[in-house]
């Protein structure tokens, strides 16, 4: 037999052993559960038929060589929910040791509030020892006293939930539709009202979504037109034009620095009265008569970047095709370039 055969044989034996162990434990738990149900019937006696009983829950763990199983049976009396719980220890030799159990309806809204709970005894010969009638009667009387209070609370809660079933939150249509289905399943008698309320919210979401889409479309349209207007303005600088820079008024300050002033003009000589038309904001609107001219420099402007600030017109141009679209741009002086949006648009379309 090879090493691998030995390994496989060991693994199979271990798996078989674990399967058998699990099967045996499942049988023990099943047997203990049947005994627990019998205990519950003994404790509750004739009242068992009047108790609403749910599905048994259990969980287990091993403490050294002892398997510990806890059982919980959901119960209800007069629509008040409670639990009946018990734990059993299963020794290695298969003997059951039952612990005390409890019938617990929790804290009820009584004055003063009381924890409605009793301990239920058992032994290992007779798994359940019936409680005294007055003990069980006390618990049931407390539950019965609370039942009308509980019913009023449940009615208020129902009315609140019915009101909330007609209120929808959120901006996600699939979520609203899912909520409509869930609420209709919970309150089938309110189907028409729930559908109407949900549909109104969906319509509002759709309208707001359409408004957002229109706003986004308008924003994109205006942004694109603004770029288009800026492109139109850039064309104004493609045609070179001539300016003159006049430097004048030199004097020497106390530190020995020479200070001069200058202006820009379209003229290469002053008017007969000695005045020059200096550019200001792209217009030859400023009259200057310098006493002492130092230099006259001719400049050829071929781009916006070469143009001095005084030779630029800062204006707002508005689109004739897209409402609300405009752009603030720099243009050459009016003497050089008269901005005609229609003719520029035709030129750009022809290119």
Tell me how far CA of residue 167 lies from CA of 41, 160, 190, in angstroms. 46, 11, 13
93 vs 54, higher pLDDT: 54
The whole-number pLDDT of residue 351 equals 62
How confident is residue 93, by pLDDT bands cut at 50, 70 and 90? confident
Q: What is the mean pLDDT of residues 212-237?
A: 92
Nearest 10 degrees: Cα torsion 215, 221, 226, 232: -170
User: Could you tell me what percent of the chain has a pLDDT over 70?
Assistant: 95
Query: Quick one: CA dihedral 194, 200, 201, 203, positive or negative?
Result: positive
Q: What is the pLDDT of residues 52-69, one digit of tens each?
A: 999 999 999 988 889 999
Tell me how far CA of residue 294 lies from CA of 120, 252, 311, in angstroms. 118, 14, 21
Q: What is the mean pLDDT of residues 109-137?
A: 87
Q: What is the mean pLDDT of the chain?
A: 90
Identify the top-confidence range among 201-215, 223-237, 315-329.
Answer: 201-215
In eight-state DSSP terms, residue 143 is H
Of 185, 169, 23, 154, nearest to 79 by C-alpha is 154
Q: What is the mean pLDDT of residues 130-153?
A: 93
3-state percent breakdown (helix, strand, coil) of the chain, nearest 5: 45, 30, 25
Q: What is the mean pLDDT of residues 317-344?
A: 85
pTM of the predicted model as reported, rounded to 2 decimal places: 0.56
How confident is residue 89, by pLDDT bands cut at 50, 70 and 90? very high
Q: Is the pLDDT of residue 347 over 70?
A: no
How confident is residue 253, by pLDDT bands cut at 50, 70 and 90? low
DSSP secondary structure, 60-87, as one string:
EEEETTEEEEEEEEEEEETTEEEEEEEE
CA-to-CA distance for 49 and 63, rounded, in angstroms? 36
How confident is residue 350, by pLDDT bands cut at 50, 70 and 90? low
Q: Is the pLDDT of residue 348 over 80?
A: no
Q: Where are the domains of the chain?
A: 3-132, 236-350
CA-to-CA distance for 305 and 310, rounded, in angstroms? 12
The whole-number pLDDT of residue 349 equals 64
* Strand bridging mode 96-98 / 258-265: unpaired
Of 54, 65, 73, nearest to 97 by C-alpha is 65
CA-to-CA distance for 276 and 271, rounded, in angstroms? 6
The whole-number pLDDT of residue 256 equals 61
């Amino acid at each position: 037999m090879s090493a691998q055969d030995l390994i496989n044989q060991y693994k199979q034996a271990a798996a078989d052993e674990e399967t058998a162990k699990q099967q045996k434990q499942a049988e023990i738990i099943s047997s203990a559960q049947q005994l627990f149900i019998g205990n519950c019937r003994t404790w509750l006696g004739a009242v068992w038929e009047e108790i609403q009983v749910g599905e048994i829950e259990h969980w287990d763990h091993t403490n050294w060589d002892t398997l510990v199983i806890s059982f919980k049976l959901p119960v209800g009396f007069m629509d008040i929910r409670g639990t009946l719980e018990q734990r059993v220890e299963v020794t290695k030799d298969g003997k059951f040791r039952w612990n005390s159990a409890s019938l617990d309806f929790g804290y009820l809204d009584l004055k003063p509030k009381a924890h409605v709970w009793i301990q239920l005894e058992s032994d290992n010969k007779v798994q359940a020892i019936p409680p005294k009638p007055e003990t069980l009667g006390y618990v049931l009387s407390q539950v019965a006293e609370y039942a009308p209070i509980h019913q009023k609370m449940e009615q208020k809660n129902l009315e609140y939930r019915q009101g909330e079933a007609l209120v929808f939150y959120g901006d996600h249509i699939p979520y609203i539709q899912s909520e409509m289905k869930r609420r209709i399943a919970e309150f089938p008698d309110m189907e028409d009202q729930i559908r109407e309320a949900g549909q109104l919210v969906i319509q509002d979401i759709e309208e707001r979504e359409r408004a957002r889409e229109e706003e986004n479309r308008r924003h994109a349209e205006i942004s694109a037109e603004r770029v288009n207007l800026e492109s139109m303005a850039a064309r104004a600088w493609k045609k070179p034009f001539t300016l003159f820079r006049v430097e004048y008024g030199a004097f020497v300050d106390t530190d020995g620095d020479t200070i001069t002033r200058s202006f820009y003009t379209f003229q290469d000589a002053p008017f007969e009265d000695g005045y020059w038309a200096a550019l200001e904001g792209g217009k030859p609107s400023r009259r200057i008569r310098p006493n002492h001219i130092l230099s006259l420099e001719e400049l050829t402007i071929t781009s916006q970047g070469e143009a001095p600030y005084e030779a630029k017109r800062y204006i707002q141009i508005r689109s004739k095709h897209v409402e609300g679209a405009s752009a603030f741009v720099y243009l050459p002086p009016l003497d050089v370039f008269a901005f005609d949006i229609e003719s520029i648009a035709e030129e750009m379309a022809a290119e």
